[in-house]
Amino acid sequence: MNSKFVYINPENSLKRDIKYNTLVKQILDKITDIPNYHEYRAGSIELLKMICNIIENNVNNKKKSKSEKIDKENLCCEVYNRLFDKISPLELINLKNNIQYLLENKQIKKIGFFKVCYSVTKNWIKKKFTE
């Protein structure tokens, strides 16, 4: 958001929509880096688990008003819609059921602060010394 009006910041639902779209783009970039990601369309729990974990670790709805909260399930469905060019209503129902399955079996987890710091630092060092 490069602009001369940096002192004016979006709030509430506008801020939520900007974060939502930014997150969708970031997830799509990450998934499209996977070779042959289209092969995982047909019921791949592994890809769904990865997307759900990315969402879980990047969306914090605590202490937010109702208008600022991001619906994680809808975000995941939006990613799948954009990733696989419109999914059918039956696939959408299966997707939601699979998300529920992952939640019930505690497969969607927050990553700890120290693990995130370690991974970010390791990635930064790799980039710094491989250039």
- Quote the CA–CA distance of 104 and 113 in Å, as a whole number: 24
Q: How much is the pLDDT for 12?
A: 75
- How many other CB atoms sit within 10 Å of the CB of residue 94? 15
Given the structure tokens 């779209």, which residue do they identify? 21
With 0.75 as the threshold, say if the pTM is over it: yes
Q: How much is the pLDDT for 62?
A: 83
Contact between residue 74 and residue 21 where contact means Cβ atoms under 8 Å apart: no
Cβ neighbours of residue 54 closer than 8 Å, sequence gap 6 or more: 27, 30
pLDDT in tens, 29-71: 999 998 988 887 766 889 999 999 999 998 888 887 777 788 8
Average pLDDT, the chain: 87
Q: How much is the pLDDT for 105?
A: 93
Residue 2 — pLDDT band, cuts 50, 70, 90?
A: low
- Point out the least confidently predicted range of 24-33, 64-73, 84-93: 64-73
Q: How much is the pLDDT for 37?
A: 85
More confident: 84 or 3:
84
Maximal C-alpha separation, the chain: 48
